[in-house]
């Protein structure tokens, strides 16, 4: 066992028995590098990462490679999900120097943490046109011994270039909102796949923040293709193998253009954001299939990703055991794929033709492009023919029971504040739009979990909880996402305590992360001297950027988000969720007055109202509802029908 055995991160614990003398990120490792005068090898990944597992099997479990690492380097393992701040810095370096990035990420640092060489996955020996990991280690050790001055001299210009990339000047005082929205809309329309949904070619990613934007663009402009692109994408994803057709929940992305063969890991942040997209699209269209996909995804989260005390776990692995008799032999998606005979024994020979037609099953397997031979003779279930009879609940239960006998994929059971914030928001929205009280109960239980487990006695919000241990001061995305979720809960429940805590977190967020000179927010505080660069996250990718969510929090609390918009004026094309916040200006409110507002809530909850905030005045002089813009209110209405008519006439 190496020093990772004392950590809580599932990713670090996976490497605790490697022959590599791994250390966790921290002063002990840095001091060792200085004392032994060795460069640092920093390996960054996460516990459900397929290629991280591959590199571990090939290199980190190799005694001969471990010998090189232990002799010539101080080796550090880092969980990117625990420390996204460190990951972003060195990912920026790898992308700048190699033109691409990803995980596992491999970076070599001087003892003072400055990067000088990096990449992603390295095979153990030279192949695939890549230098082998052994070759890289030997060459870097030699260069450190013979040409150290050249390495040390190179790190200064590298850091200067990275600073130039992240230190961008703010834009003009006012931002052309419509131009930004129309520009991104036009870009999405050009890259839209009209036949299969999604944007661009393979691999295809969900990109829910762009779907959120398209729905808002449709709301404001009436452009039908904004709605069509969204619904087509959501429909095709739900029919594909990327959606777990039996158990619900979405895999990370599709390796092909058809949404058929997924990368099989399931991430909490994908479930959260996709549920929001499906529910919003349902509010716009009334299409019950969209609502059903949202329900199936939420039910998967409740069943398989929920901590007994209410929080939500982070992810399930892409890889799983192929044969229980050989528990160390794993394959991607092994838990989810089926042989014909296995299905026939459950479904029955008489019903198998119908089942095969509905789910695209073939006797010899349905994955015809399989470069790694992972799916030979196996089937990935997808909805190939929606016109057939639906899968009966009884048969679904039998299939799930058979699947449950397999070894489940590894569960990353840490609870992350920012990802839980996204999931709480999704449950709160779905509870309202789908009239499902148990979803609201789940959202409130998760919020209580964060409040009791991840807010320190001194009021600091923490990032990670696992196995009784809460740790790591929160980053911008933790504060922003949880504050946003609390506002959602206030709007769903009228409980002022949620709003009060959201306001406190927003104030703390400004104190800890805001750049008062140039606007926007840094991802980290100034407290950690081992963070080389303070970065302002400027990309809505797999997760929304902290700045985008922070801008929405400020807007929803009635504060001025203009400095955030100005800071990112030149980069709005990469920030669709921030454009959503921009489109919400000027602020619009619905004020519900009186102790019983259920009649008005029925009208509001089923509608797509992306730019209105909801406020409650239970002690108001008379029951009613006010629709306001920029804090100027129309005359109140006194019943749900009149509110419906007013919202129809006052569309924006």
Q: What is the mean pLDDT of residues 163-179?
A: 82
| pLDDT for the residue numbered 638 | 95
**Element at 627 (helix H, strand E):** strand 624-629
- Token pair of 494 as six digits: 């009228």
Tell whether the model's pLDDT for residue 486 goes beyond 90.
yes
Report the C-alpha gap between 412 and 414 in whole angstroms.
6
Report the C-alpha gap between 355 and 362 in whole angstroms.
10
List, for residues 451-480, the tens digit of each pLDDT value: 999 999 999 999 999 999 999 999 999 999
Residue 124: band (very low, low, confident or very high) from pLDDT cuts 50, 70, 90:
very high
List, for residues 129-161, the tens digit of each pLDDT value: 778 999 999 999 999 999 999 999 999 999 999
Question: 76-98 burial by CB neighbour count: b if 16+ within 10 A, else e?
Answer: bbbbbbbbbbbbbbbbbbbbebe
Report the C-alpha gap between 128 and 117 in whole angstroms.
20
List, for residues 521-538, the tens digit of each pLDDT value: 999 999 888 999 999 999
Superfamily of domain 3-166: Glutaredoxin (3.40.30.10)
Give the distance from CA 84 to its chain's centroid: 12
SS3 230: helix
Residue 142's alpha-carbon distances to 39, 73, 191, 326, 372, in angstroms, are 11, 12, 47, 40, 35
Tell whether the model's pLDDT for residue 492 goes beyond 70.
yes
Tell whether the model's pLDDT for residue 25 goes beyond 60.
yes
Do β-strands 462-466 and 588-593 pair in parallel, antiparallel, or remain unpaired? unpaired
List, for residues 279-323, the tens digit of each pLDDT value: 999 999 999 999 999 999 999 999 999 999 999 999 999 999 999
Report the C-alpha gap between 291 and 268 in whole angstroms.
19
Report the C-alpha gap between 371 and 391 in whole angstroms.
31
Whether a cis peptide bond, with omega within 30° of 0, leads into 435 is: no
**Element at 238 (helix H, strand E):** helix 224-239
| pLDDT for the residue numbered 419 | 98
Report the C-alpha gap between 284 and 224 in whole angstroms.
12
CB 540 within 8 A of CB 549: no
CB 546 within 8 A of CB 552: no
CB 36 within 8 A of CB 45: no
Identify the DSSP state of 572: G
Are both 3-166 and 588-649 of the same fold? yes
Closest to 136 (Cα-Cα) out of 34, 19, 43: 43
Give the distance from CA 222 to its chain's centroid: 29
The percentage of the chain sitting over the pLDDT mark of 90, rounded to a whole number, equals 90
CB 403 within 8 A of CB 415: no
Report the C-alpha gap between 506 and 356 in whole angstroms.
52
Tell whether the model's pLDDT for residue 230 goes beyond 90.
yes
Tell whether the model's pLDDT for residue 427 goes beyond 70.
yes
List, for residues 510-522, the tens digit of each pLDDT value: 999 999 999 999 9
List, for residues 360-383, the tens digit of each pLDDT value: 999 999 999 998 889 999 999 999
CB 154 within 8 A of CB 88: no
Q: What is the 3-state secondary structure (H, E, C) of 199-221?
A: ECCCCECCCHHHHHHHHHHHHHH
How do the domains of the chain map onto residue ranges?
A: 3-166, 205-306+308-412, 588-649
SS3 319: strand
**What helix, strand, coil percent values describe the chain, rounded to 5?**
50, 15, 40
Q: Enter the CATH code of domain 588-649.
A: 3.40.30
List CB contacts of 341: < 8 A, sequence separation 6 or more. none
pTM (two decimals): 0.97
| pLDDT for the residue numbered 651 | 57
List CB contacts of 504: < 8 A, sequence separation 6 or more. 459
Residue 206: band (very low, low, confident or very high) from pLDDT cuts 50, 70, 90:
very high
- Token pair of 582 as six digits: 């921009």
- Token pair of 179 as six digits: 């131009």
Residue 386: band (very low, low, confident or very high) from pLDDT cuts 50, 70, 90:
confident
| pLDDT for the residue numbered 178 | 84
Total Cβ atoms within 10 A of residue 341: 10
Residue 493's alpha-carbon distances to 44, 251, 434, 498, 619, in angstroms, are 41, 32, 15, 9, 16
CA-CA-CA-CA torsion for 385, 388, 391, 394, nearest 10 degrees? -160
Token pair 């955030």 in the structure block, residue: 564
Tell me what the pLDDT averaged over the chain comes to.
95
Q: What is the mean pLDDT of residues 412-441?
A: 98
List, for residues 585-643, the tens digit of each pLDDT value: 888 999 999 999 999 999 999 999 999 999 999 998 789 999 999 889 999 999 999 99
| pLDDT for the residue numbered 616 | 97
Q: What is the 3-state secondary structure (H, E, C) of 328-362?
A: CCEEECCCCCECHHHHHHHHCCCCHHHHHHHHCCC
């Amino acid at each position: 066992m190496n020093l990772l055995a004392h950590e809580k991160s599932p990713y670090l614990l996976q490497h605790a028995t490697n022959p590599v003398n791994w250390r966790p990120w921290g002063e002990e490792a840095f001091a060792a590098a200085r004392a032994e005068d060795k460069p640092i090898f920093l390996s960054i990944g996460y516990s459900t990462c397929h290629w991280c597992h591959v590199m571990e099997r090939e290199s980190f479990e190799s005694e001969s490679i471990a010998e090189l690492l232990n002799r010539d380097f101080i080796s550090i393992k880092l969980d990117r999900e625990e420390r996204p701040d460190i990951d972003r810095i060195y990912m920026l370096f790898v992308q700048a120097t190699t033109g691409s990035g990803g995980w596992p990420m491999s970076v070599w640092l001087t003892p003072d943490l400055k990067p000088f060489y990096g990449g992603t996955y390295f095979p153990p020996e030279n192949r695939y046109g890549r230098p082998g990991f052994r070759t890289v280690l030997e060459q870097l050790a030699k260069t450190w011994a013979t040409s150290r001055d050249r390495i040390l001299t190179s790190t200064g210009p590298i850091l200067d270039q990275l600073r130039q990339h992240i230190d961008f000047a703010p834009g003009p005082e006012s931002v052309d909102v419509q131009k930004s929205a129309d520009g991104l809309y036009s870009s999405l329309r050009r890259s839209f796949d009209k036949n299969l949904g999604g944007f661009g070619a393979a691999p295809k990613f969900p990109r829910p923040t762009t779907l959120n934007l398209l729905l808002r663009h449709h709301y404001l402009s009436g452009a039908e293709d904004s709605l069509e692109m969204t619904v087509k994408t959501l429909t095709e994803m739900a029919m594909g193998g990327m959606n777990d057709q039996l158990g619900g929940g979405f895999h990370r992305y599709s390796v092909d253009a058809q949404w058929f063969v997924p990368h099989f890991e399931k991430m909490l942040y994908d479930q959260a954001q996709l549920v929001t997209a499906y529910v919003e699209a349902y509010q716009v269209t009334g299409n019950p299939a969209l609502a059903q996909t949202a329900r199936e995804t939420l039910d998967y989260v409740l069943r398989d990703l929920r901590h007994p005390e209410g929080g939500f776990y982070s992810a399930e692995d892409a890889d799983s055991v192929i044969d229980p008799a050989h528990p160390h032999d794993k394959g991607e998606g092994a838990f989810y794929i089926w042989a014909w005979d296995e299905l026939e024994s459950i479904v029955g020979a008489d019903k198998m033709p119908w089942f095969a037609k509905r789910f695209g099953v073939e006797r010899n397997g349905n994955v015809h492009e399989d470069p790694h031979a992972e799916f030979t003779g196996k089937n990935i279930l997808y909805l190939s023919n929606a016109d057939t009879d639906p899968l009966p609940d009884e048969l679904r239960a039998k299939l799930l029971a058979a699947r449950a006998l397999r070894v489940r994929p590894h569960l990353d059971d840490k609870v992350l504040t920012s990802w839980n914030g996204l999931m709480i928001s999704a449950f709160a929205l779905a509870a309202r739009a789908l009239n499902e009280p148990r979803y609201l109960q789940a959202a409130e239980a998760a919020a209580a979990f964060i409040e009791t487990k991840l807010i320190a006695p001194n009021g600091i919000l923490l990032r990670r909880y696992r196995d009784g241990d809460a740790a790591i001061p929160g980053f911008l995305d933790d504060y922003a996402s949880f504050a946003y979720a609390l506002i959602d809960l206030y709007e769903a429940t009228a409980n002022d305590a949620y709003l009060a805590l959201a306001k406190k977190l927003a104030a703390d967020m400004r104190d800890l992360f805001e750049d008062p000179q140039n606007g926007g927010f840094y991802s980290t505080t100034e407290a950690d001297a081992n963070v080389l660069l303070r970065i302002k996250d400027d990309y809505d990718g797999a997760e929304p950027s902290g700045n985008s969510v922070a801008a929405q929090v400020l807007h929803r609390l009635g504060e001025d988000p203009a400095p955030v918009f100005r800071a990112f004026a030149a980069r709005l094309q990469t920030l669709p969720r921030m454009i959503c916040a921009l489109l919400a200006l000027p602020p619009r409110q619905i004020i519900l007055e009186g102790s019983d507002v259920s009649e008005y809530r029925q009208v509001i909850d089923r509608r797509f109202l992306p730019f209105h905030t909801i406020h409650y005045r239970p002690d108001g002089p008379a029951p009613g509802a006010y629709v306001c813009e920029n804090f100027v209110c129309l005359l109140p209405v006194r019943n749900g029908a009149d509110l419906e008519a007013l919202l129809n006439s006052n569309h924006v």
